[in-house]
A and B are shown apart, each in its own frame.
Chain A
Amino acid sequence: MATSVQIKDLSLSYGTITVLDKLNLDISDGEFIVLLGPSGCGKSTLLNCIAGLLDISGGEVHISGKNVTWEEPKDRGIGMVFQSYALYPQMTVEKNLSFGLRVARMPKAEIEARVKRASEILQIEPLLQRKPVELSGGQRQRVAIGRALVRDVDVFLFDEPLSNLDAKLRNDLRVEIKRLHARLKNTMIYVTHDQIEAMTLADRIAIMKNGVIQQLGDPHTIYNKPVNLFVAGFIGSPSMNFIKGDLSGTTLSVDGQANIPLGNYQFANQTNGASILGIRPEHIVVGEEARKMPVQMESEIEIVEPMGADTIGWTKIAGQSLTFRAAAEVHLEPGQKVLIGFDPGRGSVFNAASGNRI
């Protein structure tokens, strides 16, 4: 597939502080890519560099095959949606949508056609004559998306667009953005710190930390084969269990109290020594099911958190705490002794020193 956005050796520094260092990223045409990471990881900075809102210190940005490194934002063929919506407060929705086009002296008929199309797609036609203060948060964000839409561009940039909305609206709008992408098939670059948004929307996720992309991959790979401890811990809720131990061959010895056989784990590059086994809570089973698992052990339930759809149990193995996700029907009580089991083949093993997957 053709490349839509290409970032080459992009660096950004303020004085001695380096925010982004020689970052590379290729995004294909029509791809939905999510930049995910904790606050301060440089994801919004990267987006602003792509948009041309920040002057970069090194590297190149190509959009739709054109080197736009020195171009003004308006000439890059992008539309952008902001967290605070950034609607022009004293203009009606219609004026908000058309302002950029009017300034660019586009023919009236063309402007009207574009505004009509955008408001149809986003179902904001009844709101066209209202002002932003008269709209709800969700409606404002639709208008903000509409403003990007009328520009008729190849690439859409979203800077935490749903962060100011409440949980319910956020879910609704998330689905709507997904629908929009399915319909328009534009390239979309989406910044968020919310892993659910990332998992549900992305074709590929780029997880960032300290200005560096830790892992770039489809949601399934990111979730199941995290490349390092940071990615493993950042994605998933409740987060992945980490069991510290000492690896020798295919056996992880945990504080000398327990030995976990990692026979069916596929090592990429096995290294003996201090290691960490990561197991997702939903990959741990309790009760009779556990008897089918390669690894089984007795343990005592400490805390039970019923979540409705399922139940989170807290226990300990060899002194290290462990959470597991059980079906809501499974009856659990604190103090109860249960058999738990898991398949190390579905887990991840990391070298404790480097934090990388082995």
Chain B
Amino acid sequence: MSVATANSSGVEPSGPKPRRVTPGRIGIYAFLIMAAIFFLLPLAVMILTSMKSMNEIRGGNIFALPAQPTLDYWIKAWSSACTGVTCNGLAPGFFNSVKITVLAVPISIILSMINGYALSFWRFRGSELMFGLLVFGAFVPFQVLVYPIIFGLSRVGLFGTLPGIVIVHSVFGMPILTLLFRNFFASLPAELFKAARVDGAGFWRIFFSVMLPMSVPIAIVAVILQVTGIWNDFIFGLVFAGRENLPMTVQLNNIVRTSTGTVEYSTNMAATILTGAVPLIVYFVSGKWFVRGIAAGAVKG
């Protein structure tokens, strides 16, 4: 205010322009903060509810802090909640998800890395067509392919097995990862590849000695993309994993669907948090890499 009066009274403007807090500026922050609250509320509700007893929830305020915070429901969700007939909680689902992820992530990434490398530096007749078909596959709704894959996997005896679900994840991860790696390798200078060729290195030698060490950053992006993608998958696990290997998301849904009578939201929310913990941790730890993965995946999608 004082600056404004000084100015109107004829003092020469000098130095930095005085910053006035404009209504527009306030509006921007107000909007962003309101949006942030909207985005955070469900997470808050999830956490708060999981720590309250059912009696307390009945009080009607889902935003209230728990009067007597308890982790009982977390323990129940983990080890003794009923998923259909059995009552072993989420733990088996967690370990199934770990198994599936640990196997499917490296397989899909290595295959896609080779694809991206070959498509960037070793084009052969038909390679672009293959790539086009592969990317087309990324757009096809899974439901279109569900039955043919059930049929195919059954024929080789892998339907409803761990290898079966790993194969399915590797297949459906391939289009986006190949795109990711192809764009990455295409951004490298072609001279690098030519120099290695002149030095007499072949396909695999160049891949392992030159390209692989350079693709660590993009591989991290790919790992993040795949870990969260596979962990969050529901439909593939539901259809292809078989009763023995149901992933955590499917178990979570089973816990929620199993509850009889009144819905036991405390257990449900505890189970939800436990299931979401892995991708959330990956997200908060990886931060910018995660965003980069989205950008990279989206650029030419």
Chain A contact residues, CB within 8 Å of chain B: 55-60, 67, 69-70
Find residues 11-25 in chain B having any chain A CB closer than 8 Å to their own CB. Answer: 12-18
Find residues 186-245 in chain B having any chain A CB closer than 8 Å to their own CB. Answer: none
The docked-state distance in angstroms from the alpha carbon of A69 to that of B15 is 7
The docked-state distance in angstroms from the alpha carbon of A67 to that of B12 is 7
Chain B contact residues, CB within 8 Å of chain A: 7, 12-18
A60 pairs with B16, CB closer than 8 A: no
A59 pairs with B14, CB closer than 8 A: yes
The list of the 6 closest CB pairs from A to B, nearest first, reads: A70-B13, A69-B13, A70-B17, A58-B15, A60-B14, A67-B13
* 5 residue pairs A–B, Cβ–Cβ below 8 Å: A58-B14, A60-B13, A67-B13, A69-B12, A70-B18
A55 pairs with B14, CB closer than 8 A: no
Select which of B7, B12, B15 is within 8 A of A57 by beta carbon.
B15
A59 pairs with B15, CB closer than 8 A: yes
B12 pairs with A55, CB closer than 8 A: no
Hey, which chain A residues are within 8 Å of B16, CB to CB?
55-58
Work out how many contacts link A and B, with CB atoms closer than 8 A. Answer: 27
Hey, which chain B residues are within 8 Å of A69, CB to CB?
12-15, 17
Other A-B pairs, 11, CB within 8 Å; known A57-B15, A57-B16:
A56-B15, A56-B16, A58-B16, A59-B14, A59-B15, A60-B12, A60-B15, A67-B14, A69-B12, A70-B17, A70-B18
The docked-state distance in angstroms from the alpha carbon of A55 to that of B15 is 9
The docked-state distance in angstroms from the alpha carbon of A58 to that of B17 is 9
Hey, which chain B residues are within 8 Å of A59, CB to CB?
14-15
Residue of A nearest to B19 (CB): A55
CB distance from B157 to the nearest CB of A (A): 58
Hey, which chain A residues are within 8 Å of B12, CB to CB?
60, 67, 69
Hey, which chain B residues are within 8 Å of A56, CB to CB?
15-16
The docked-state distance in angstroms from the alpha carbon of A165 to that of B14 is 38
Residue of B nearest to A68 (CB): B13
The docked-state distance in angstroms from the alpha carbon of A57 to that of B17 is 8
Main secondary structure of the interface of A (DSSP, over half): loop
The docked-state distance in angstroms from the alpha carbon of A67 to that of B15 is 11
Hey, which chain B residues are within 8 Å of A70, CB to CB?
7, 13, 17-18
Residue of A nearest to B15 (CB): A58
Hey, which chain B residues are within 8 Å of A58, CB to CB?
14-16
CB distance from A120 to the nearest CB of B (A): 38
CB distance from A11 to the nearest CB of B (A): 8
Residue of A nearest to B12 (CB): A67
CB distance from A273 to the nearest CB of B (A): 42
Hey, which chain A residues are within 8 Å of B7, CB to CB?
70
Residue of B nearest to A11 (CB): B15
Hey, which chain A residues are within 8 Å of B15, CB to CB?
56-60, 69
The docked-state distance in angstroms from the alpha carbon of A234 to that of B14 is 34
Residue of A nearest to B14 (CB): A60
The docked-state distance in angstroms from the alpha carbon of A58 to that of B15 is 4
Hey, which chain B residues are within 8 Å of A67, CB to CB?
12-14
CB distance from A232 to the nearest CB of B (A): 36
CB distance from A48 to the nearest CB of B (A): 14
CB distance from B16 to the nearest CB of A (A): 6
Residue of B nearest to A12 (CB): B16
The docked-state distance in angstroms from the alpha carbon of A58 to that of B13 is 10
The docked-state distance in angstroms from the alpha carbon of A228 to that of B80 is 83
The docked-state distance in angstroms from the alpha carbon of A293 to that of B17 is 59
Q: Which of B7, B14, B17 has the most CB of A within 10 A?
A: B14
CB distance from B20 to the nearest CB of A (A): 11
CB distance from A347 to the nearest CB of B (A): 44
The docked-state distance in angstroms from the alpha carbon of A60 to that of B13 is 7
CB distance from B129 to the nearest CB of A (A): 30
The docked-state distance in angstroms from the alpha carbon of A60 to that of B18 is 13
The docked-state distance in angstroms from the alpha carbon of A59 to that of B17 is 11
Hey, which chain A residues are within 8 Å of B17, CB to CB?
55, 69-70
The docked-state distance in angstroms from the alpha carbon of A264 to that of B12 is 51
CB distance from A334 to the nearest CB of B (A): 33
Residue of B nearest to A56 (CB): B16
The docked-state distance in angstroms from the alpha carbon of A67 to that of B16 is 13
Hey, which chain A residues are within 8 Å of B13, CB to CB?
60, 67, 69-70
CB distance from B90 to the nearest CB of A (A): 49
CB distance from B24 to the nearest CB of A (A): 15
Hey, which chain B residues are within 8 Å of A57, CB to CB?
15-16
Hey, which chain B residues are within 8 Å of A55, CB to CB?
16-17
CB distance from B18 to the nearest CB of A (A): 7
The docked-state distance in angstroms from the alpha carbon of A182 to that of B55 is 87
The docked-state distance in angstroms from the alpha carbon of A70 to that of B16 is 8
Residue of B nearest to A8 (CB): B14
CB distance from B17 to the nearest CB of A (A): 5
Residue of A nearest to B18 (CB): A70
The docked-state distance in angstroms from the alpha carbon of A231 to that of B101 is 63
The docked-state distance in angstroms from the alpha carbon of A70 to that of B4 is 12
The docked-state distance in angstroms from the alpha carbon of A341 to that of B16 is 55
The docked-state distance in angstroms from the alpha carbon of A262 to that of B93 is 91
The docked-state distance in angstroms from the alpha carbon of A55 to that of B14 is 11
The docked-state distance in angstroms from the alpha carbon of A267 to that of B17 is 46
CB distance from B44 to the nearest CB of A (A): 36
The docked-state distance in angstroms from the alpha carbon of A67 to that of B13 is 7
The docked-state distance in angstroms from the alpha carbon of A55 to that of B16 is 6
The docked-state distance in angstroms from the alpha carbon of A67 to that of B17 is 12
CB distance from A76 to the nearest CB of B (A): 12
